[in-house]
Structure 1
C-alpha cells in the first residue's frame, strides 16, 4: 500500500491555512513568481555581463536551478509544510541550521518585493513622469496588500489573468522578432547568443548566470504554499520542476531572438545598460515604437503587480513559519480568522517593501544592488538545501537512491558555489555581513536559553 501523505499535525502544528490550491494553481503561481517576461527588464545587464551570450547564461542558470528544484522536490515530499528552505534545513539537518537557512533566504524574500516595486515604479515613471517613482511604489504596495489580505484564492484568480496577459505580450514579441529575422535584420550569427568564441570564458558566463538566475527565483516560492495545497508533497515538488522547465523554455526563446536583433551590440557590451532600456530598444528595432511601448508597459505591470503580488504572499508565509516556531516575533504567526492568511506577516512585508522601495528610489545603484543581494541570499540558502537532502535521506534514512540523494545535491551545490564566487563583490560583502548578523542573533538566542527548537523536538 502507498504511504499516506504527511500532514502538518504530524509535526506538531495545527492546520490553520486553507487548503484550496491544486497542481495547476501551484504551477501558475510559480510561473507568475518567475515572470514569463522577466528577461525584458534585465536583458541589457545579462547581455553585457555574458559577452552577448544571453541564451547561454540562461541555460547555465537553468542547470543550476534544475538541480536545486530537484532537491526542493525531495524535501517537499519529506516535509510538506510552509517555510521553504527554512523548514527543510531545520528538519533535514537541525533547527539552528534551519534558522540560518531561513535568515539567508529572508535576504531574498524581504528584498524581492521592494526590488520589484522599484523596477515597476521606474518604468511607470518613464510613461507618467508627473507621478514620482516613490508614488508608483506606494500605489503597487497598496494594491497588492489588499489582494493578499483578501485570501489566497483571490491571489490565485488575479495571477491566472496576469499570466495570460504576459504570455500574449511574449507571443507578440516572438512573432514580430521572427518576422524581423526572416527579413534579414539579424545583427549577428544564429548561434552567437549561445556561444561566442571571442568573448567566452567560464567566469564570464557564470558571472552572467548569477544575474540571470534572478529570473528563475520564484519556483521555490511554491514550497511556501505547502499548507494551502490540496496536493501531497510529491506533486508539490513536481509543480516546482514543471514551472521551472516551462519558464526556462520561455526565457531562452525570448533572449535568443532578442540577442540576434540587438542593435548597437558593441556599445552595449562596452558600456552596459544603465538605463535598463536594451530590450525595449531591440523591440523598437524589430517592430517599431509600438512594440517597445508594449513590452515596457507589460514589464512594469508584471514586475510591479503580478510578480510582487506572489512575492509578498511567499514572504509572509516564510515569516509565518519562522514565527510559529518562535524564531521570529510571535505576532507574525497570527492567521486572519476569515481570510485564512497570515495577516500580520502580510502587513509587515508591505511596510518593509514600501520603505525599501522608496529609499532605494533615491539611489542610483538601487536596482543592481538589490538584485545582487537577492541572488546572494537565495544562493546561500539553496546551498544548505542541498546539504539537507544528503543529511536527511542518505545519512539518516540510509537511502539507496544515490542519484537523487547524493549526485543531484552535490552537482547543485558545486554549481551554486561557482555562481556565488563569481557574484557582484559588493553583494558578497553585504551578503556575508547579513549572514554574520544571523549568526550573532543565533548566538544571542543560545545565551538567552532560547535555542531554536521545532515542535517535534519538544518533550
Structure 2
C-alpha cells in the first residue's frame, strides 16, 4: 500500500466525460423508444427535453458539492458532512445498490444480445465472460479503462450517426415527413402521458452523477468534474433528442412493430437491412461493455471512500494496490457480486437502480438546500436562484420519480435500507460512536 493511501490523479476532462457517457449507455435510447412512444402517445423527443431540463437542476447541485468535497465518495461524502454522519453512511449504502445493479444489467443485456446470435452457447457464459473482462481491465488502473471507454464511445457515436443518416434517407424516400414544431408539442389531454414517459426516461441520464466518484482520480477535480457533469448530461440530452426526433418522424405510430419493448433491431433492419443490423448490434454490445466498465469503476471508488473512512472494514475496502494504484479488492468484490446477474432478471436489476439513483439525486439537492440555509452571508438573486430555487426544483422532480416507482422497487429498497441500518447500529455501538471523518485537505489538488 502506498504511504498516503491516495489514488493518483491521472484522468483529464476527456477521460471523465467518456466514462460518464459510457455509464449512461447512450444506446439505451434505442431500447426504450418503443415503450416511451407508446406511453407518451408519440412525443418521445419532447419527453427527453422535459427530463433533461429537470435532471439539469440536480446536475448543477452535484457540480456545487464536488467543489466543496473533492472525494471519491460522491453523495455519501456530501450527506455525511453536510447533514449527518449516520445519514451519510445510509445514503452511501442505499446508493451503492445502483452502482452494483448496473453491471448486472449490462451482463444480462450482453447475454440477451449474444444469445440471439449464438443460441448454442450457454447464456451464463456471456455473463461470466463480460464481468471477467471488465474486472481485468479495471484492475490495471482507471487510465487504461478510461482510454478503452473513449474508443467504445467513439464507435457508438459512429453507429448513432449512421443510424440517423439512414433514418433521414428513409424519411426522404417514403411517405413520412419530419416532425414540425406544432407536432412536437402535445395537446392538453396528452400531457399526462408525456410526463409518464419523462419519468421512464429519467434513468437514461444516470451516469452524469457517477463521475463524481472519480474526483480523486481526476486532475484538478474542482474544475474538471463540474464541467464534466454538465457536458455528460448535455451531450446525452442532445443525442437522445436528435435520435428520437428522427425515429419519431419515421415511426409516428409504434403499433407497427411486432414488439414495442424490443423495437430497435426491427427499426435497424427496416432502415438498413441485415448488414446495418449487424453493425447496430455491434454498437449495442460495445455500449453494454463500456457501461459495465464505467459502472464497476464507480462502485469500487464508492466502496474505497467508505473503507478509507473506516465505515466498512478499512484493511479490505480502503486498500490500494501499490503497483496499479487501484482498489483491487473492491473491484474483485464488485465483479463477484455482479455475478448475481445469473440469478436475477432485468426487472429486478432495474428496480435496484431506481432506488439507489433516486436516493442519491434526492440527497444531493437536499445538501445544497441545507448549505443555503446555513449560509449567513449576503444572498443575491443569483445566489438564491442557484442554491435554493434550482435544487428545490430538482428535488421536486425526483419526488415525482419516487411517486412513480412500483411496489417491487420500494420493497427491495426497504429491505436493503433495513440491512444497512442494522449494520450501522452494530458498527457504531448502537449509534453511540460516530463514523470516522475524512481530512479533505489531503485530497486537494
Gap change, CA 1:439 and 1:70, over 3 Å in 2: same
5+ residue gaps, structure 1: 1-12, 361-365
1:324 to 308, 312, 322: 308
Q: 1:373: which partner in 2?
A: 352
Gap change, CA 1:308 and 1:333, over 3 Å in 2: same
2:205 corresponds to 1:216: yes
2:49 corresponds to 1:49: no
- Asked if structure 1 preserves the Cα contact closer than 8 Å seen for 2:80 and 2:86, the reply is yes
2:101 corresponds to 1:111: yes
Q: Deviations over 1:24-79 (max 9, x none)?
A: 22122211211232312332333333333222232222122211110000000000
2:238 corresponds to 1:260: no
2:15 to 25, 41, 57: 25
For residues 193 and 211 of structure 1, what CA distance do their matches in structure 2 show? 21
Q: 1:8: which partner in 2?
A: none
2:284 corresponds to 1:299: yes
SS at match of 1:213: helix
Q: CA deviation at 1:456?
A: 5.0
Q: 1:363: which partner in 2?
A: none
2:325 corresponds to 1:340: yes
For residues 197 and 285 of structure 1, what CA distance do their matches in structure 2 show? 30
Q: Tell me the TM-score normalized by structure 1.
A: 0.88
5+ residue gaps, structure 2: 441-445
Structure-to-structure mapping, 1:410-449, within 5 angstroms? 410-448=392-430, 449=432
Gap change, CA 1:292 and 1:404, over 3 Å in 2: same
Which has the larger displacement, 109-118 or 95-104?
95-104
2:110 corresponds to 1:120: yes
Q: CA deviation at 1:397?
A: 6.0
Q: CA deviation at 1:230?
A: 0.8
Q: CA deviation at 1:318?
A: 0.5
1:453 to 426, 436, 439: 436
For residues 193 and 61 of structure 1, what CA distance do their matches in structure 2 show? 19
SS at match of 2:335: helix
- Asked if structure 1 preserves the Cα contact closer than 8 Å seen for 2:5 and 2:320, the reply is no
Q: CA deviation at 1:435?
A: 2.7
Q: 2:218: which partner in 1?
A: 229
Q: CA deviation at 1:294?
A: 2.2
Q: CA deviation at 1:86?
A: 0.7
2:237 corresponds to 1:248: yes
Q: Tell me the TM-score normalized by structure 2.
A: 0.90
Gap change, CA 1:224 and 1:326, over 3 Å in 2: same
For residues 78 and 399 of structure 1, what CA distance do their matches in structure 2 show? 19
Structural RMSD (CA): 2.4
Q: Deviations over 1:88-125 (max 9, x none)?
A: 11112221121122122112111111111111211111
- Asked if structure 2 preserves the Cα contact closer than 8 Å seen for 1:67 and 1:409, the reply is yes
2:364 to 385, 393, 400: 385
For residues 191 and 121 of structure 2, what CA distance do their matches in structure 1 show? 43
Q: CA deviation at 1:186?
A: 2.8
Q: 1:239: which partner in 2?
A: 228
For residues 15 and 254 of structure 2, what CA distance do their matches in structure 1 show? 40
2:338 corresponds to 1:353: yes
For residues 132 and 170 of structure 1, what CA distance do their matches in structure 2 show? 30
Number of equivalent positions? 433
- Asked if structure 2 preserves the Cα contact closer than 8 Å seen for 1:15 and 1:227, the reply is no
Q: 2:267: which partner in 1?
A: 282
Q: Deviations over 1:255-297 (max 9, x none)?
A: 22122223862366xx964xx4212212222222322332223
- Asked if structure 2 preserves the Cα contact closer than 8 Å seen for 1:206 and 1:419, the reply is no
Q: CA deviation at 1:300?
A: 2.1
For residues 199 and 285 of structure 1, what CA distance do their matches in structure 2 show? 32
2:299 to 315, 333, 340: 315
